[in-house]
Amino acid sequence: MTLRVGLVGAGAMGRNHARVLSTLDGVDLVGIADPLLDGSLFGAAVVENAEALIATGIDYAVVACPTELHELVGLLFADAGVHALIEKPLAADVPGAERLTRAFEDKNLIGGVGHIERYNPAVQGLRSRLANGDLGDIYQVLTRRQGPFPGRIADVGVVKDLAPHDIDLTAWVTGESYTSVTAHTIIKSGRPFEDMVSAIALLSGGTMANHVVNWLSPFKERSTVVIGERGCFVADTLTGDLTFFANGQITNEWEAMRSFRGVSEGDSTKFAMARREPLLVEHENFRDAVLGVGNDIVTFEQGLQTVRVAAAMLDSAAAGASVEIGP
């Protein structure tokens, strides 16, 4: 069976979606809706809007338009009975994400969120090894996501555009949910949105999470460090590398200090792994979910929880206080 697919949005990320969809087995990219697109893209016809895509008889849609339009466009597809993969974040705010989640549940539709980092080989390997108990108890997750300002982002700041990557992957690799967050933001670019956030969060299993996200760095960094009982993992999602640094054994001949249980530098291991393009893997999994032969997608419910955490970061920064996050 070949699925007919439509795409909304042909910006930087939208064009990547179009590239992957144009060669994806079992999929026919039949149309792209973008008012600024002149001419066809990857052989797909250009249509006026989401309604025109629906009229072509698509089986599912990919939504890669600006964040502020996710809810509006997503609800159009829900009303039409069309499955949808919506780029992260699911919606611009919590009420919008809740409405989308309910709408797709009510119609029994497949809804997925484009949290691409889940499909990065380094993150996939990290989750597998944490689930296997290779690290023992998990103490802390630290993420750094920084780089120059992307001129294409005009409707949101880093908390809604970049931080959802780290929120989702942290909850996913640990299997824990966020219970509270304390965050600080700054605005330096002259736009009305934050350019930097630094956040500390507590997860449901007692793990601490620290996130540094900004558009103010001249170099690009995508790093996730997980510290635990037996050492730490370092995942670099720019290169797809995963490295484990094991705790060494401390030999202490000082009688008064023998009760101190610290760690020292031990062996390090860089894992060899298959490196498939994360966006391709994401699309393969969503296609399979629509066909009913797989369910390895980021669900709307999970995407909703990520929006809740991002909203709590902004609330915390505005109030100058810690914010509790409900289930």
pLDDT value at residue 285: 98
- Whether 135 and 222 share a structural domain: yes
For the chain, how many structural domains are there in total? 2
Contact (CB, 8 A) for 113 and 106? no
Say which amino acid occupies 207: T
| 90 in any annotated domain | yes
pLDDT value at residue 272: 85
How does residue 101 score in pLDDT terms, banded at 50, 70 and 90?
very high
Per-residue pLDDT tens for 201-238?
A: 999 999 999 999 999 999 999 999 999 999 999 999 99
- Please state, rounded to an integer, the average pLDDT across all residues of the chain: 93
Predicted TM-score (pTM) of this structure:
0.93
- Whether 265 and 254 share a structural domain: yes
pLDDT value at residue 150: 77
pLDDT value at residue 191: 84
Burial of 67 (0-12, 13-18, 19+ CB in 10 A): buried
In this prediction, residues 323-327 reach a mean pLDDT of 89
pLDDT value at residue 266: 75
pLDDT value at residue 40: 75
Instruction: Say which DSSP state 26 is in.
Output: T
- Whether 16 and 104 share a structural domain: yes
Report which of 68, 96, 151, 111 is spatially closest to residue 289, judged by C-alpha positions.
111
Contact (CB, 8 A) for 120 and 298? no
pLDDT value at residue 1: 85
- Whether 124 and 227 share a structural domain: yes
- Whether 67 and 143 share a structural domain: no
* CATH number assigned to the domain comprising residue 164: 3.30.360.10
CA 101 to centroid of chain Cα atoms: 17
| 247 in any annotated domain | yes
Q: Residue 81: pLDDT above 90? A: yes
- Whether 198 and 266 share a structural domain: yes
Domain of residue 108: give its range. 3-115+279-296
- Whether 232 and 198 share a structural domain: yes
- Whether 165 and 265 share a structural domain: yes
| 302 in any annotated domain | no
- Whether 287 and 272 share a structural domain: no
DSSP string across 229-253 = TTEEEEEETTTTEEEEEEEEPP---
| 301 in any annotated domain | no
Per-residue pLDDT tens for 142-161?
A: 999 999 987 767 678 999 99
Q: Give me Rg for the CA atoms of the chain.
A: 21
pLDDT value at residue 5: 98
* CATH number assigned to the domain comprising residue 285: 3.40.50.720
Report which of 121, 190, 206, 129 is spatially closest to residue 154, judged by C-alpha positions.
190
252 backbone dihedrals φ, ψ, rounded to 5°: -120, 115
- Whether 111 and 137 share a structural domain: no
pLDDT value at residue 17: 97
- Whether 284 and 185 share a structural domain: no
Question: Residue 53 and residue 61: Cα distance in Å, rounded?
Answer: 8
How does residue 129 score in pLDDT terms, banded at 50, 70 and 90?
very high
